Amino acid sequence: MNETPFYRDVRIWLLLVAILYTLALIWGTHSPREPWPELTIGRRDKLMHLLAYFGLTLLWSLVFRGWHRPSWAFFAGMVAGIAAFGATDELTQMLVPGRSCELFDWTADIIGMTLGLGVFALSQAIFWAEEEASKKDEAGDVRTDALKRD
């Protein structure tokens, strides 16, 4: 599919949103805080990690692939990139007062990334199936028109 000026503009806006989202995520995970009692955070912390990386993965997937059919190399690159970003995010939190590095936080990040990629892959499969069906319909219409003229 050729990228029209409209889609190019949308991708520019998506890029801006993805950058701001990433910066907000870094700020949120690296702001010093007073240690909270485990009871107030509990499982919600893991859910927040999962949702944050779900959104991060969807945004960057749209920026990098947008309206082009993704390949296995794209998905492998996204897994490597987001997983490395999550690991770096966790490791560098050790340098911030009141923060810590937790394997289970990174695990929640990876689960969120996996769900984000799954939703992206499903949406792309639906989009490209409709695109192919549309092309077949157009080709069928052209053949039908040619037969009518004969």
Per-residue pLDDT, 39: 43
Q: What is the pLDDT of residue 45?
A: 84
Q: Which residue has the tokens 């991708």?
A: 11
pTM, two decimal places: 0.78
Q: Could you tell me how far CA 83 lies from the centroid of its own chain?
A: 12
Domain boundaries, position 132 = 5-149
pLDDT digits over 31-60, tens only? 887 655 554 456 788 999 999 999 999 999
Domains held by the chain: number? 1
On whether the CB atoms of residues 71 and 77 are closer than 8 A, the answer is no
pLDDT tens digit sequence for 76-132: 999 999 999 999 999 999 999 888 889 999 999 999 999 999 999 998 888 878 877
Amino acid at 58: L
